[in-house]
Structure 1
Amino acid sequence: MALKWVDSLDIALALIDEHPEVDPAQLHFPELMQWVIALEEFDDDPNRCGERILEAIQQAWIDEAD
């Protein structure tokens, strides 16, 4: 399944698998963006990402990590 920027929950779940030791609340957006782009399943234009998308991914990650 190809992940797009709109798939914030699925991206968050993939990031939990890739980086289980990370506290997502401490992650800076540039690093988060790079980690998303590096996901094997990710297939979207990096230029389509904005702060709101990264906030949604980060919040989904925080919610799922609890």
Structure 2
Amino acid sequence: MNMTWQDYRQLGEMLFEKYDTLNPLTVRFTDLHKWVLDLEDFEGKPEASNEKILEAIQMAWYEEWKDEYGE
């Protein structure tokens, strides 16, 4: 499944699978941007992201993390 920046829910889930114990609210957007680009099946262009998109990805990841760790 090829993903772009608009697939924020799936990207958040994939980041949770890869970095499951890391609280996503502690991740800088610069790191988040790089980690998304490094995900398998991600085909979005680096310059196509923005703060709003990164925040949506971070919140999707946070929802997964919160469900697992209850914080």
TM range (shorter): over 0.9
- The residue aligned with 2:52 is 52
Distance 2:20 2:46 in 1: 24
Question: C-alpha deviations, 1:34-61, integer Å up to 9, x for none?
Answer: 0000001111111000000000000111
Give the aligned residue type for 1:7: D
Larger Rg, first or second structure (1 or 2): 2
Give the structure-2-normalised TM-score: 0.89
- The residue aligned with 2:40 is 40
1:27 pairs with 2:33: no
How far residue 3 of structure 1 moved from its aligned partner, in angstroms, is 1.0
Which runs of 5 or more residues in structure 1 are unaligned?
A: none
Distance 2:11 2:41 in 1: 9
- The residue aligned with 1:8 is 8
Query: How well do the aligned residues superpose, as a CA RMSD in angstroms?
Result: 0.7
Distance 2:54 2:24 in 1: 11
Which runs of 5 or more residues in structure 2 are unaligned?
A: 67-71
Aligned residues: 66
Question: C-alpha deviations, 1:8-33, integer Å up to 9, x for none?
Answer: 00000110111112110100000000
